[in-house]
Amino acid sequence: MIAEAYGPSGHEHIIREVIRDEIKSLADEVRVDALGNLIAHRKAVGATPRKKVMLAAHMDEIGVMVTHIDEKGFLRFASLGGVFANTLVGHRCRFENGIIGAFGQEKKNSSRTETQLDKMFIDIGARDGKNSPINVGDAAGFWREFTDLGDRMIAKTMDDRIGCAVLIETLRQLKKSPHEIFAVFTVQEEVGVRGATTSAFGVQPDVAIAIDVTDTGDTPESNTMAVALGKGPAIKVKDSGMLAHRGVKTALITAAQENKIPYQLEVLTGGSTDAMAMQVSREGVPAGVVSIPTRYVHTPSEMVDFDDAQNAVKLLVAFLGKPIKLD
């Protein structure tokens, strides 16, 4: 399953093969570039004016990397991406070889209200460090099973496996487009949008859309934000790393309105997406973002609404199915 597959930043080979199996019949060409991005190319249909459109959803998940193993077999670690220490104590991680570890915290001179990564460790149940099945440099992702709540879903990697699922389903439902479509499942987004940086340089798109998650303002005492679960995909206006291109934003809004697709407008004060890299590739690219509202982002229990994901697919299919006009 896409949501449960292993794939911390820089270690996306397993999730890449899962996605490749899903898309191999949905594109004219599927390839992997030098950095590890999975790129599906679909040719344009018809002789109408066409654009080269790049859609990006990142495959990697946040995680940790082992930095030291002590004589008792406890693992010290560094973060891969935006890992919050207060979400870890008592949770589990899984290494590529299947070993499961529990996150623990130093108790002496430590406070549960002031948890710090350098005061934490991973316990894999080892008796000592001499014959550890884990080595320095090994990476792990969070380990929690996917849970279907009916209208809502919870997983450790909705950021951004829900975006990958939306992109796969968009390819499946988009029967034809006047545009050349490059669906790119990117690597290393969580450590600096690196995959989008190189793939956008290679694709040289005329228009770029990132598909990623965004925060919400609909939980008790949450930060004020006009995004909620169940009210449709969010069309980004800005985040801390980019301002959406006005023409792309307007075209997405128009597609939603013309097709009676519910949508929200997103202004995110922290964080960014692959669009940040794509819009400044080469001489610049008009870029926007379709965001999936997500509660508890960068925790082991990220929650999304099923209808929001379905409506994101509808929005992208409508946007890609006709000529794109950028004001």
In this predicted model, what pLDDT tens digit does every residue of 66-109 receive, in sequence order? 999 999 999 999 999 999 998 999 899 999 999 999 999 988 76
C-alpha 184/C-alpha 99 separation (Å) is 30
- Report the alpha-carbon distance of residue 229 to residue 150 in Å, rounded: 14
The whole-angstrom separation of Cα 28 and Cα 175 is 13
What is the model's pLDDT at position 289?
Answer: 98
Whether the CB-CB separation of 245 and 324 falls below 8 Å is answered with no
Q: Which residues are catalytic?
A: 189
pLDDT score for 110: 62
Report the pLDDT value the prediction gives residue 267, as an integer from 0 to 100: 97
Listed by start position, the domains of the chain span 13-61+156-320, 63-142
pTM of the model: 0.95
DSSP 129-145: STT-SS-TT-EEEE---
The predicted pLDDT at position 47 comes to: 61
Segments of the chain with pLDDT less than 70 = 47-49, 109-114
pLDDT of residue 45: 82
Q: What is the pLDDT of residue 109?
A: 64
Question: For 42-57, how does the pLDDT look when each residue is reduced to its tens digit (9 = 90+)?
Answer: 998 876 668 999 999 9
Q: What pLDDT was estimated at residue 116?
A: 87
Q: Per residue in 98-140, pLDDT tens?
A: 999 999 998 876 665 667 898 999 999 999 988 899 999 999 9
**Fold of domain 13-61+156-320:** Aminopeptidase (3.40.630)
| Fold observed for domain 63-142 | Elongation Factor Tu (Ef-tu); domain 3 (2.40.30)
H-helix or E-strand spanning residue 320: helix 306-320
